[in-house]
Amino acid sequence: MLASKVIERYQAFCPPSLSMEGDVSGLQIGTLQKDIQTVMVALDIRETTVAEAIEKKVDLIIVKHAPIFRPIKDLVADNLQTKIYLDLIQHDIAVYVSHTDIDVVTGGLNDWFCEALDITDTDYLHETQVGQGIGRIGTVEPQTLEELALKVKKVFGLDAVRLVTYGHQAQQYVERVALCGGSGDSFYKDALAKGADVYITGDIYYHTGQEMLTQGLLAIDPGHHIEVLFVEKIAQQLKEWKKEENWDITIEASTVSTNPFRHL
Protein backbone atom coordinates (compact mmCIF):
# COMPACT_ATOMS: atom_id res chain seq x y z
CA MET A 1 0.00 0.00 0.00
CA LEU A 2 1.05 3.61 -0.46
CA ALA A 3 2.61 5.52 2.41
CA SER A 4 0.18 8.33 1.62
CA LYS A 5 -2.74 6.13 2.73
CA VAL A 6 -1.27 5.78 6.22
CA ILE A 7 -0.61 9.51 6.51
CA GLU A 8 -4.08 10.40 5.22
CA ARG A 9 -5.56 8.34 8.06
CA TYR A 10 -3.16 9.88 10.56
CA GLN A 11 -4.06 13.40 9.42
CA ALA A 12 -7.77 12.64 9.77
CA PHE A 13 -7.01 12.05 13.46
CA CYS A 14 -4.36 14.75 13.85
CA PRO A 15 -4.71 17.50 11.21
CA PRO A 16 -1.45 19.34 10.46
CA SER A 17 -3.49 22.57 10.49
CA LEU A 18 -3.42 22.32 14.31
CA SER A 19 0.33 22.93 14.34
CA MET A 20 1.50 26.14 15.98
CA GLU A 21 2.74 28.97 13.80
CA GLY A 22 6.33 28.42 12.63
CA ASP A 23 6.34 24.77 13.66
CA VAL A 24 8.04 22.04 11.64
CA SER A 25 5.45 19.37 10.84
CA GLY A 26 4.51 17.14 7.93
CA LEU A 27 6.64 15.18 5.47
CA GLN A 28 10.27 16.20 5.89
CA ILE A 29 12.30 13.51 4.11
CA GLY A 30 11.46 11.23 1.19
CA THR A 31 8.13 10.65 -0.51
CA LEU A 32 4.72 9.30 0.43
CA GLN A 33 4.07 8.18 -3.14
CA LYS A 34 5.67 4.77 -2.68
CA ASP A 35 4.64 1.30 -1.59
CA ILE A 36 5.54 0.46 1.98
CA GLN A 37 5.66 -2.63 4.15
CA THR A 38 6.90 -1.35 7.52
CA VAL A 39 6.07 1.81 9.50
CA MET A 40 7.96 2.77 12.66
CA VAL A 41 6.99 5.32 15.30
CA ALA A 42 9.76 7.22 17.12
CA LEU A 43 10.21 10.22 19.38
CA ASP A 44 13.48 11.43 17.83
CA ILE A 45 15.59 10.57 14.83
CA ARG A 46 19.16 10.06 15.89
CA GLU A 47 21.87 7.75 14.56
CA THR A 48 20.54 4.95 16.77
CA THR A 49 17.00 5.40 15.44
CA VAL A 50 18.22 5.27 11.85
CA ALA A 51 20.26 2.12 12.51
CA GLU A 52 17.16 0.52 14.05
CA ALA A 53 15.04 1.54 11.06
CA ILE A 54 17.54 0.13 8.59
CA GLU A 55 17.77 -3.15 10.50
CA LYS A 56 13.97 -3.48 10.57
CA LYS A 57 13.65 -2.49 6.88
CA VAL A 58 11.42 0.43 7.74
CA ASP A 59 9.90 2.41 4.85
CA LEU A 60 8.23 5.22 6.80
CA ILE A 61 8.92 6.79 10.20
CA ILE A 62 6.30 8.86 12.01
CA VAL A 63 8.26 10.96 14.49
CA LYS A 64 7.46 13.59 17.11
CA HIS A 65 10.58 15.74 16.78
CA ALA A 66 11.77 16.93 13.38
CA PRO A 67 15.20 15.60 12.41
CA ILE A 68 15.88 18.83 10.48
CA PHE A 69 15.32 21.71 12.88
CA ARG A 70 18.15 24.05 11.86
CA PRO A 71 19.19 25.21 8.37
CA ILE A 72 21.44 22.67 6.63
CA LYS A 73 24.56 24.13 5.01
CA ASP A 74 25.74 20.91 3.40
CA LEU A 75 25.07 17.16 3.13
CA VAL A 76 28.57 15.85 3.72
CA ALA A 77 28.87 12.23 4.86
CA ASP A 78 31.84 13.01 7.09
CA ASN A 79 29.57 15.21 9.22
CA LEU A 80 27.89 12.81 11.64
CA GLN A 81 24.75 14.96 11.93
CA THR A 82 24.13 15.22 8.19
CA LYS A 83 25.05 11.55 7.76
CA ILE A 84 21.78 10.81 9.58
CA TYR A 85 19.89 12.47 6.73
CA LEU A 86 22.00 10.81 4.06
CA ASP A 87 21.41 7.37 5.56
CA LEU A 88 17.66 7.96 5.54
CA ILE A 89 17.77 9.05 1.89
CA GLN A 90 20.09 6.22 0.87
CA HIS A 91 17.72 3.62 2.36
CA ASP A 92 14.60 5.36 1.02
CA ILE A 93 13.11 5.93 4.48
CA ALA A 94 10.45 8.63 4.48
CA VAL A 95 10.03 10.77 7.61
CA TYR A 96 6.74 12.37 8.63
CA VAL A 97 6.87 14.82 11.56
CA SER A 98 3.95 15.30 13.97
CA HIS A 99 5.08 17.92 16.45
CA THR A 100 2.76 20.50 17.99
CA ASP A 101 -0.29 19.16 16.13
CA ILE A 102 -0.24 16.03 18.34
CA ASP A 103 0.21 18.29 21.40
CA VAL A 104 -2.84 20.37 20.50
CA VAL A 105 -5.27 17.77 19.15
CA THR A 106 -8.03 16.54 21.44
CA GLY A 107 -7.19 12.99 22.49
CA GLY A 108 -3.50 13.58 21.79
CA LEU A 109 -0.30 13.70 23.82
CA ASN A 110 -1.25 16.23 26.48
CA ASP A 111 -4.55 14.44 27.10
CA TRP A 112 -2.66 11.15 27.45
CA PHE A 113 -0.43 12.78 30.06
CA CYS A 114 -3.52 13.92 31.97
CA GLU A 115 -5.00 10.43 31.87
CA ALA A 116 -1.76 8.94 33.18
CA LEU A 117 -1.65 11.40 36.10
CA ASP A 118 -5.40 11.34 36.90
CA ILE A 119 -5.84 15.00 36.00
CA THR A 120 -9.55 15.58 35.35
CA ASP A 121 -11.93 18.38 34.31
CA THR A 122 -9.35 19.59 31.82
CA ASP A 123 -9.20 22.56 29.48
CA TYR A 124 -6.42 23.77 27.19
CA LEU A 125 -3.65 25.85 28.77
CA HIS A 126 -2.70 28.25 25.95
CA GLU A 127 -4.98 29.03 23.03
CA THR A 128 -3.38 28.43 19.62
CA GLN A 129 -6.51 29.02 17.54
CA VAL A 130 -10.19 29.44 18.27
CA GLY A 131 -11.35 26.50 20.39
CA GLN A 132 -7.94 24.81 20.35
CA GLY A 133 -4.87 25.06 22.52
CA ILE A 134 -1.62 23.54 23.69
CA GLY A 135 -1.10 22.16 27.17
CA ARG A 136 -3.86 21.28 29.63
CA ILE A 137 -5.05 22.45 33.03
CA GLY A 138 -7.27 20.47 35.38
CA THR A 139 -7.62 19.11 38.88
CA VAL A 140 -6.22 16.26 40.93
CA GLU A 141 -7.14 14.91 44.34
CA PRO A 142 -5.52 17.27 46.89
CA GLN A 143 -1.98 16.08 47.62
CA THR A 144 1.38 17.56 48.49
CA LEU A 145 3.77 18.77 45.83
CA GLU A 146 6.14 15.98 46.86
CA GLU A 147 3.44 13.32 46.48
CA LEU A 148 2.53 14.57 43.01
CA ALA A 149 6.19 14.73 42.00
CA LEU A 150 6.76 11.14 43.14
CA LYS A 151 3.71 10.08 41.14
CA VAL A 152 5.11 11.78 38.03
CA LYS A 153 8.41 10.01 38.61
CA LYS A 154 6.72 6.61 38.96
CA VAL A 155 4.24 6.98 36.08
CA PHE A 156 6.91 7.95 33.57
CA GLY A 157 9.61 5.61 34.90
CA LEU A 158 12.07 8.40 35.65
CA ASP A 159 15.24 8.27 37.71
CA ALA A 160 14.56 11.80 39.00
CA VAL A 161 12.36 14.88 38.66
CA ARG A 162 13.29 18.50 39.35
CA LEU A 163 11.12 20.55 41.67
CA VAL A 164 10.75 24.30 41.30
CA THR A 165 10.11 25.15 44.94
CA TYR A 166 11.70 26.54 48.03
CA GLY A 167 12.40 23.62 50.34
CA HIS A 168 9.56 24.14 52.81
CA GLN A 169 6.98 24.16 49.97
CA ALA A 170 7.46 20.48 49.13
CA GLN A 171 4.71 19.66 51.62
CA GLN A 172 2.36 22.33 50.28
CA TYR A 173 -0.94 20.92 49.03
CA VAL A 174 -1.80 21.27 45.36
CA GLU A 175 -5.02 20.60 43.48
CA ARG A 176 -5.09 22.73 40.34
CA VAL A 177 -2.49 21.34 37.90
CA ALA A 178 -1.26 22.76 34.59
CA LEU A 179 0.68 20.51 32.22
CA CYS A 180 2.50 20.84 28.92
CA GLY A 181 4.70 18.16 27.38
CA GLY A 182 8.13 19.07 26.05
CA SER A 183 9.54 22.53 26.74
CA GLY A 184 6.61 24.56 28.02
CA ASP A 185 8.05 27.05 30.47
CA SER A 186 7.03 29.92 28.15
CA PHE A 187 3.40 29.15 29.02
CA TYR A 188 3.79 29.49 32.79
CA LYS A 189 1.93 32.81 32.81
CA ASP A 190 -1.06 31.01 31.29
CA ALA A 191 -0.85 28.53 34.16
CA LEU A 192 -0.87 31.42 36.63
CA ALA A 193 -3.75 33.17 34.87
CA LYS A 194 -5.83 29.99 35.01
CA GLY A 195 -5.23 29.47 38.71
CA ALA A 196 -2.72 26.60 38.70
CA ASP A 197 -1.05 25.62 41.96
CA VAL A 198 1.64 23.68 40.11
CA TYR A 199 2.91 23.42 36.54
CA ILE A 200 4.36 20.22 35.06
CA THR A 201 6.62 20.78 32.07
CA GLY A 202 10.15 20.07 30.86
CA ASP A 203 13.32 22.10 30.34
CA ILE A 204 12.47 24.85 32.84
CA TYR A 205 15.07 27.62 32.60
CA TYR A 206 16.81 28.71 35.83
CA HIS A 207 15.58 32.30 35.85
CA THR A 208 12.11 31.29 34.70
CA GLY A 209 11.93 28.96 37.71
CA GLN A 210 12.76 31.89 39.97
CA GLU A 211 10.06 34.02 38.33
CA MET A 212 7.52 31.23 38.83
CA LEU A 213 8.22 31.07 42.56
CA THR A 214 8.12 34.85 42.96
CA GLN A 215 4.64 34.82 41.41
CA GLY A 216 3.45 31.91 43.54
CA LEU A 217 3.63 29.02 41.07
CA LEU A 218 5.27 25.71 41.98
CA ALA A 219 6.53 23.42 39.21
CA ILE A 220 7.68 19.90 38.45
CA ASP A 221 10.18 19.34 35.63
CA PRO A 222 10.17 15.67 34.53
CA GLY A 223 12.32 16.39 31.47
CA HIS A 224 11.50 16.57 27.78
CA HIS A 225 11.77 12.84 27.18
CA ILE A 226 8.42 11.94 28.79
CA GLU A 227 7.05 12.68 25.32
CA VAL A 228 8.24 9.16 24.46
CA LEU A 229 4.65 8.23 25.36
CA PHE A 230 3.95 9.34 21.77
CA VAL A 231 5.65 6.17 20.50
CA GLU A 232 3.50 3.72 22.43
CA LYS A 233 0.23 5.56 21.82
CA ILE A 234 0.67 6.22 18.10
CA ALA A 235 1.92 2.69 17.41
CA GLN A 236 -1.16 1.37 19.22
CA GLN A 237 -3.41 3.67 17.17
CA LEU A 238 -1.78 2.59 13.90
CA LYS A 239 -2.38 -1.05 14.80
CA GLU A 240 -6.06 -0.29 15.38
CA TRP A 241 -6.32 1.44 12.00
CA LYS A 242 -4.46 -1.45 10.39
CA LYS A 243 -7.15 -3.83 11.64
CA GLU A 244 -10.01 -1.51 10.66
CA GLU A 245 -8.63 -0.73 7.19
CA ASN A 246 -7.14 -4.19 6.56
CA TRP A 247 -3.70 -2.73 5.90
CA ASP A 248 -1.04 -5.25 4.89
CA ILE A 249 1.82 -3.57 6.73
CA THR A 250 3.93 -4.05 9.85
CA ILE A 251 3.83 -1.47 12.65
CA GLU A 252 6.94 -1.05 14.79
CA ALA A 253 7.48 1.05 17.91
CA SER A 254 11.06 2.25 18.23
CA THR A 255 12.81 0.59 21.16
CA VAL A 256 16.02 2.64 21.31
CA SER A 257 16.30 5.38 23.92
CA THR A 258 17.13 8.85 22.62
CA ASN A 259 17.12 10.48 26.06
CA PRO A 260 20.51 12.23 26.37
CA PHE A 261 20.26 12.70 30.15
CA ARG A 262 20.92 10.42 33.12
CA HIS A 263 21.05 11.32 36.81
CA LEU A 264 23.49 9.81 39.32
pLDDT digits (tens, 9 = 90+) for 91-112: 999 999 999 999 999 999 999 9
Domain 106-221, what fold?
3.40.1390
Distance between start and end Cα atoms, the chain: 47
pLDDT for the residue 167: 80
Is residue 203 a contact partner of residue 222, using CB atoms and an 8 Å limit?
no
170: DSSP letter: G
Q: CATH 3.40.1390.30 spans which residues of the chain?
A: 3-99+227-252, 106-221
For the stretch 68-93, pLDDT in tens is 988 888 999 999 999 999 999 999 99
Specify binding-site residues. 65, 103, 224, 227
Q: What number is the average pLDDT over the span 223-240? A: 98
**Cα–Cα distance list, 149 to 18, 83, 109, 153, 222 (Å):** 30, 39, 19, 6, 9
- Tell me which CATH code domain 3-99+227-252 carries: 3.40.1390.30
pLDDT for the residue 169: 84
What's the pTM?
0.96
Q: CA–CA separation, 140 vs 155, rounded Å?
A: 15
Specify binding-site residues for a divalent metal cation. 65, 103, 224, 227
In this predicted structure, the answer to whether residue 168 has a pLDDT above a threshold of 80 is: no
